Amino acid sequence: MNTTPQKYLITVIGPTAIGKTALAIEIAKHFKCDIISADSRQFFKEMNIGTAVPSKDELEEANHHFIQNISIFDEYTVGDFEREAITKLDELYKTSDFAVMVGGSGLYIDAVLKGFDDFPDIDPSIRAELVTNYEQHGLEYLQQELEKRDPVHYEKVAKENPQRLMRALEVSIGTGKPYSSFLNQKKNTRNFTPIIIGLEADRELMYNRINQRVDIMVNNGLLEEAKTLYPHKKLNALQTVGYRELFAHFDDDCTLDFALEEIKKNTRRFAKRQMTWFKRNEAAAWFDFKTVPQEIINYIEMKR
């Protein structure tokens, strides 16, 4: 007897600037369903150009959720997203057998697909102290502390990402147990069947698309947007590519040309890390980014 839930979450993954949004909209239109965004940078209403939020026309083509739904001043974690996304899916499945999830934030994608590891609440003062130490002593301080407190997780973590380092440290400090000890616990069951679609491109082509997107962002007003956010540059939400580099320029630490080249370089590095993360998912079916949407839709229909 087949007990597989007959609800489907069609998930579109891939690196930044690869065309995930356009494909997700075509899939949602075909299956007459809604889209859940799992791009953690697009959650924030104050961040628009630098996060490549879908255009007004794109948002009107399909009903989107979790796009610019919170403020940079709000505390929002991947655990919050998991709970809210699952609640939203339960609601959507009352009227449709399908939903689409799209985004480039691998941790957020995995939290919805597989469940998020159950971490205890941590005293906020621990994170505040870590931020202060990071600002005073730099990335190397975080790396050394994590290597000392949790060498197992240190070997796996993205060592250039201060937010990941601080998250692991605050759990390790706040609980007295290594962050890695909370990982790989029993996950929650899901009431949907995932169908995972990956988009990819030749690396050089992907990098060219990223460079072009940054140029478009600048033409669309990225500098002006960054200037409005500059007074709040220490907020966690703004510790991200596209803003951090411009903040350094506003601080007179570098020229504008250098800052823009840094955005392109750091976005390319981010895309490489995204692909490394997503390629670990053996359930994903990968397509060239130029594949016509109907071919991918046909594949999804066969997987039902």
> Does residue 20 have a known ligand-binding role?
yes
| CA–CA dist 258, 266 (Å, integer) | 12
> Does residue 195 have a known ligand-binding role?
no
Q: Taking the chain, what is the end-to-end CA distance rounded to the nearest angstrom?
A: 16
Residues 6+ apart with CB under 8 A from 187: 114, 115, 116
> Does residue 95 have a known ligand-binding role?
no
Calculate Rg over the CA atoms of the chain: 20
| CA–CA dist 43, 225 (Å, integer) | 16
> Does residue 87 have a known ligand-binding role?
no
Q: What SS3 string covers 219-274? A: HCCHHHHHHHHHHHCCCHHHCCCCCHHHHHHHCCCCCHHHHHHHHHHHHHHHHHHH
Beta bridge mates, 193 = 8
> Does residue 267 have a known ligand-binding role?
no
Find how far residue 206's CA is from the centre of its chain.
Answer: 18
| CA–CA dist 162, 171 (Å, integer) | 14
At 144, list the tokens: 């050394």
> Does residue 88 have a known ligand-binding role?
no
> Does residue 106 have a known ligand-binding role?
no
> Does residue 56 have a known ligand-binding role?
no
Residues flagged as binding site: 14-21
Residues flagged as binding site for ATP: 14-21
Residues flagged as binding site for substrate: 16-21
